[in-house]
Structure 1
Amino acid sequence: MARVSDAEIARVIRTQATERAPRTLCPSEVARALAVDWRPLMPRVRAVAATLPEIVATQKGDPVDPVAAKGPIRLARTAGP
């Protein structure tokens, strides 16, 4: 698998979140857009999402830390400006 940069992961998260707003997306959608062998990217997608102030991770509708959360999460644009 070719190395995917954190900047590229951030770009895809932002793009997909903007296109989906106000709906949410699964981090696996980001990973799938970046690599055929997408599963190994999942921890990095969550880690990069945690660094983006305009992105919120939720679990069952409540905000969570995307790195610490166990189980499925969703990503979305924050409600801010």
Structure 2
Amino acid sequence: MSSDDRIRETIDGLLDARRAGATICPSDAARALRPDGDWRALMDDVRRVAADEAGAGRLELRQGGRPVDPSGARGPIRLGRPPRAGRRLTRRPPGTATRPAGRGPPPPRAL
């Protein structure tokens, strides 16, 4: 098994162990691969493999919670699963908006 395959499997395993929509730091994968060694030496490889996976649509790189182009990502990034293609947002009918508990008065009702 190549080192790129091991990195891919590690990223997949870490994401599988988290709830849907969660992200990991690339250093989580590097540390998992070298728990007692120099994990920092793997960071460039982990970021490269993550960028390849993002290019193939199997991974999403994020900065500040927003998707970012792997070629333009500078600084800290997070790795996550991309949203499902074709996913539709659920729209609520007018006058049925919800609000978090304890956050002001209820929304006005439609007449």
TM-score between both structures, scaled by the size of structure 2: 0.63
Aligned residue for 2:39? 38
Between the two structures, name the one with larger relative contact order (CA 8 Å, sep ≥ 6).
Answer: 1
Aligned residue for 1:48? 49
Deviation at 1:67, TM superposition (A): 5.1
Distance 1:67 1:28 in 2: 18
Deviation at 1:30, TM superposition (A): 0.2
Q: Percent identity?
A: 47
* Counterpart mapping for 1:2-81 below 5 A: 5-20=3-18, 21-35=20-34, 36-52=37-53, 53-66=57-70, 68-80=72-84
Which digits, 9 at most, give the CA deviation of each residue in 1:22-77, with x for residues without a partner? 21110000000001210010111011011212210100012123454111110011
**1:30 is paired with a residue of what secondary structure?**
helix
User: Normalized per residue, which structure has more strand?
Assistant: 1
Of the structure 1 ranges 5-14 and 61-70, higher mean CA displacement relative to structure 2 is found in: 61-70
User: Normalized per residue, which structure has more helix?
Assistant: 1
Larger radius of gyration: 2
Deviation at 1:18, TM superposition (A): 2.0
